[in-house]
Structure formats: structure tokens, C-alpha cells
Amino acid sequence: MEIKRLTPTKAEAHILLGAQRDYVNRGNTAVKCPRCGRSLEYRCGESGESIYCTDDMCIVVHTRGI
């Protein structure tokens, strides 16, 4: 098992989910990664949605699609 990314704290996850909401609503976000300050990226796929830091070793939040 490979764990590449860190698990966000509750507060960090809350910030990432806010950024995800921005992406869903208007296609971008001004929110930066709460841990390292880099940009956040959003991806929507068959297995659900992800909002993640552009640093490969940083944090990510996965949510299920509807």
C-alpha cells in the first residue's frame, strides 16, 4: 500500500471543500493550500470528486459523486 499524500486535518479539509465548491460554482478558486500555500486543483471523475494541492506530496480530499 502506498500513501502518497497527507491526510488533511478537519480544518484543512474544510478549506479544501470550500475551494471545491468554488470550482463547482464558477470553475476556479482563489483559495490556496492551507498547508503549503500552493494552488489547489479540482478533478471530477467517475469515482467521485477530488480537490487536491498541486504539490504531489501534500493534501487531498476525495468526495463521492452523486
Binding residues for Zn ion, rule: CB under 5 A, are 33, 35-36, 38, 53, 55, 58
Cβ distance to Zn ion smaller for residue 24 or 36: 36
Nearest distance from residue 32's CB to Zn ion, in Å? Answer: 8
Angstrom distance (rounded) from CA 45 to CA 30: 22
Nearest distance from residue 39's CB to Zn ion, in Å? Answer: 9
Nearest distance from residue 55's CB to Zn ion, in Å? Answer: 5
